[in-house]
Every structure is written in structure tokens, then in C-alpha cells.
């Protein structure tokens, strides 16, 4: 990953949930993410892979809504925290240690591929998107939460949409400027991209 090494993400695991949108500890923030994501997903139970799941906050949220979730991360301490969180929530999530760019699943395995703040950090996002999309069933949905942050890192919405449209028929982008999602006011670019149409051959 270009966004950090496995060791560096492991070092972030202890304090990772201190950011409101990471830990979803605040009920208002958690509700905002549920209100954002659940309506764009298929009816439960859908099969979802949460790529770069970190400490599992979104995985737990979706499992609590009745979905079958696999959370994937390449940082062992992140997954350890995710498993503890999942047990505490009383839901079931299957966590897998793997690189988000090379997921160990068969083609057409999932109804949804979800990734939040992951694509920007991976080398060759075009190839990664093609791989993720190959994991979707014919009516599967790609759900991305990305941004171009004040730090100068990230992936602009226009660039992300163009990449998705290279192998999908549509990509709807929604600006995420609601402070309830982040626990604070924001001034940088953050967005949700949803693609729910069948794949089409590359030209």
C-alpha cells in the first residue's frame, strides 16, 4: 500500500477509533453512517466484503443490520481490535488477513464490495478496481467512500468516477459534507460513490 506499511497501520490500531468516523462510538455519528450506507445496499442478508475494514466499525454496523460481512485488512492489530469489537457487539463477522489489492476470494463471490478510505492508498487503482469488480455478482454493487483531504493526499471524486466508468456502466457520486458523519465540520472533499450496474468489457 502507498498509504502506509503494515507496521505503521498496526501502530495506529490502538488510537484508530478515537476519530469519530473510525470508531463510530458516538450514537449520532453511527446513525449517520447507517443512514448513509444501508439505503444503498441490497436488502439484507447481502454478502458484503468490507475492504480495509480497520477496527471493524462498518463491518459491525452492517452485520448488525442483518448482512453477511467479511472484513479484510492487512494489519493484524487492526483485525484483533475488530474481532474484540465484533464480540462485544454480539454479531458475526468473518475477518480475513489479506492485502486489499489482492483479495483471496473467487470471482462473483459478493453482492457488495465496500471500501472506505482505501483505494487512494493502493498502487494501481485501475487494476485494483477491476479486481474488486470481478468479485461482484452480476447485480453486485461497488460502494466507495473516498476523499481528497486537506493533507494533500486522497483521490478526487472526478478521478475516482472516471476509473470506475472504465469497467462499469454508471457511477453515482454524492458529496459527504454532513458534519454528522465526521463528528466535526469539514472543508475538504469527501464523497460516496455507488456503482450498481453490470460490468461492461473494457474498450
- pLDDT tens digits, 64-107: 999 999 999 999 999 999 999 999 999 999 999 999 999 999 99
Assigned domain for 136 exists:
yes
pLDDT at 201: 46
Alpha helices in the chain (DSSP H): 6-12, 20-23, 27-37, 57-64, 76-89, 125-134, 157-165, 179-182
Query: CA-to-CA distance for 101 and 87, rounded, in angstroms?
Result: 27
The count of domains in the chain is: 1
CB within 8 A of 165, min separation 6: which ones?
171
Query: How many residues are given for the chain?
Result: 203
In a domain, 131, yes or no: yes
Q: Which residue is listed with cell 489489492? A: 101
- Look up cell 443490520; give the residue: 65
Average pLDDT estimate for 30-54 = 98
Average per-residue pLDDT for the chain = 93
Q: Does some domain include residue 138? A: yes
Residue 154 lies in a domain: yes
In a domain, 139, yes or no: yes
Q: Is residue 200 part of a domain?
A: no
Peptide bond into 39 cis (omega under 30): no
The rounded distance, in Å, linking the Cα atoms of 19 and 121 is 19
Q: What is the CATH number of the domain that holds 10?
A: 3.40.50.150
Residue 12's CB is within 10 A of a number of other CB atoms, namely 16
pLDDT score, position 12: 76
* Global confidence as pTM: 0.94
Exposure of 169 in the CB half-sphere (CA atoms within 13 A): 8
Q: Is residue 3 very low, low, confident or very high in pLDDT (cuts 50, 70, 90)?
A: low
134-189 pLDDT, tens per residue? 999 999 999 999 999 988 899 999 999 999 999 999 999 999 999 999 999 999 99
pLDDT attached to residue 4: 63
Considering the domain boundaries, does residue 203 fall inside one?
A: no
Read off the pLDDT band of 14 (50, 70, 90): confident
Question: Does residue 202 sit within a domain?
Answer: no
Distance CA 107, CA 130 (A): 11
User: Which domain does 78 fall in, by range?
Assistant: 6-195
Residue 131, pLDDT score: 97
Amino acid at each position: 500500500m502507498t498509504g502506509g506499511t503494515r507496521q505503521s497501520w498496526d501502530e495506529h490500531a490502538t488510537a484508530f477509533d478515537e476519530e469519530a468516523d473510525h470508531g463510530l462510538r458516538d450514537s449520532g455519528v453511527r446513525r449517520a453512517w447507517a443512514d448513509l450506507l444501508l439505503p444503498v445496499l441490497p436488502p439484507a442478508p447481502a454478502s458484503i466484503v468490507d475492504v480495509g475494514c480497520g477496527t471493524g466499525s462498518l463491518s459491525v454496523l452492517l452485520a448488525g443490520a442483518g448482512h453477511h460481512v467479511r472484513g479484510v485488512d492487512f494489519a493484524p492489530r487492526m483485525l484483533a481490535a475488530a474481532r474484540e469489537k465484533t464480540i462485544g457487539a454480539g454479531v458475526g463477522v468473518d475477518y480475513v488477513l489479506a492485502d486489499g489489492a489482492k483479495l483471496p476470494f473467487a470471482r462473483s463471490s459478493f453482492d457488495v464490495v465496500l471500501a472506505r478510505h482505501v483505494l487512494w492508498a493502493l498502487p494501481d487503482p485501475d487494476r485494483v478496481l477491476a479486481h474488486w469488480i470481478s468479485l461482484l455478482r452480476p447485480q453486485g454493487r461497488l460502494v466507495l467512500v473516498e476523499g481528497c483531504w486537506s493533507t494533500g493526499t486522497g483521490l478526487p471524486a472526478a478521478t475516482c468516477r472516471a476509473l470506475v466508468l472504465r469497467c462499469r456502466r454508471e457511477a453515482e457520486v454524492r458529496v459527504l459534507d454532513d458534519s454528522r458523519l465526521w463528528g466535526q465540520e469539514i472543508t475538504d472533499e469527501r464523497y460516496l460513490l455507488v456503482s450498481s450496474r453490470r460490468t461492461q468489457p473494457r474498450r
